[in-house]
Amino acid sequence: MSPTDCYVDANGLRLHLVEWGEGDRVVLLLHGFLEHARMWDWVAPRLAAAGYRAVALDWRGHGDSFPEAAAWHLAEHGTRPDAGGRLWKFDPLHQTTSPQPYYVAQAREFWRRVSCPLLYVEGAESNLRLDGPDLADRLAILRARLVTVADAGHHPHVERPEAFAETVITFLGEAR
């Protein structure tokens, strides 16, 4: 199944979407920091084959939601030549794992407003898993179901797409 690329204009931003399948049973797929919509290429066709319309968003500044002129400008001025290729220029003292500082208290207020069924999927081998009490607290606030995918690290949707898709399809079937 071939995906369809489209764009939506929202609040002055032009955002890129990739869609698989048709119909009104929509599954919105959101990528992580510094990733893009095509991270879902291994999962979305499985969701579409199960009767869902899978829609993956390129967040602002990611993938094809990043203006081409800005991308060329950053590539030209934000890199330097290195061994036949290019390296990003950066100050290692200013590296961050997120574009905004993360505050659990701020997040809790957002989580309390989530009213739909929620599935929290993690990879059993991920080195970025939350510790037990922190994870239990978040799952309780969100009223979320936890599924741990065996033999997967931080990206179970890429490392074990068949298991990830089956987990999502089962959850969606039960949530109706």
- pLDDT at residue 91 in the model: 64
- Give the contacts of 104 (CB within 8 A, at least 6 positions apart): none
- 108 and 159 in a single domain? The answer is yes
Cα–Cα distance measured from residue 21 to residue 25, given in angstroms and rounded to the nearest whole number: 10
CB contact at 8 A, 86 and 75: yes
pTM above 0.85, yes or no: no
Residue 128 included in any domain: yes
Residue 96 included in any domain: no
- pLDDT at residue 1 in the model: 76
- 145 and 67 in a single domain? The answer is no
Residue 97 included in any domain: no
Owning domain of residue 38: 1-90
- 115 and 68 in a single domain? The answer is no
Residue 95 included in any domain: no
- Among the candidates 24, 58, 90, a domain finishes at 90
**104 against 147, higher pLDDT:** 147
Say whether 150 sits in a helix, a strand or coil.
Answer: coil
Kind and range of the H or E run holding 162: helix 161-175
- 17 and 54 in a single domain? The answer is yes
- 75 and 111 in a single domain? The answer is no
Cα–Cα distance measured from residue 119 to residue 167, given in angstroms and rounded to the nearest whole number: 9
DSSP state of 4: E
- 167 and 106 in a single domain? The answer is yes
DSSP per residue, 8-60 = EEETTEEEEEEEES-SS-EEEEE--TT--GGGGTTTHHHHHHTT-EEEEE--T
In this structure, the dihedral spanned by the alpha carbons of residues 116, 166, 140 and 32, taken in order and rounded to 10 degrees, is: -80
- pLDDT at residue 73 in the model: 83
- pLDDT at residue 79 in the model: 85
For residues 137-154, average pLDDT: 96
**65 against 162, higher pLDDT:** 162
- Among the candidates 58, 90, 122, a domain finishes at 90
Count of domains for the chain: 2
Tens digit of each residue's pLDDT (9 = 90 or more) over 64-103: 888 878 778 877 888 888 898 888 786 665 566 666 667 8
Tens digit of each residue's pLDDT (9 = 90 or more) over 15-70: 999 999 999 999 999 998 788 999 999 999 999 999 999 999 999 888 888 887 87
- 62 and 3 in a single domain? The answer is yes
- pLDDT at residue 95 in the model: 61
- Among the candidates 90, 125, 154, a domain finishes at 90
- pLDDT at residue 139 in the model: 96
Residue 145's beta-bridge partner residues?
119
- pLDDT at residue 94 in the model: 58
- 46 and 128 in a single domain? The answer is no
- 40 and 17 in a single domain? The answer is yes
Look up the CATH number of the domain holding residue 14.
Answer: 3.40.50.1820
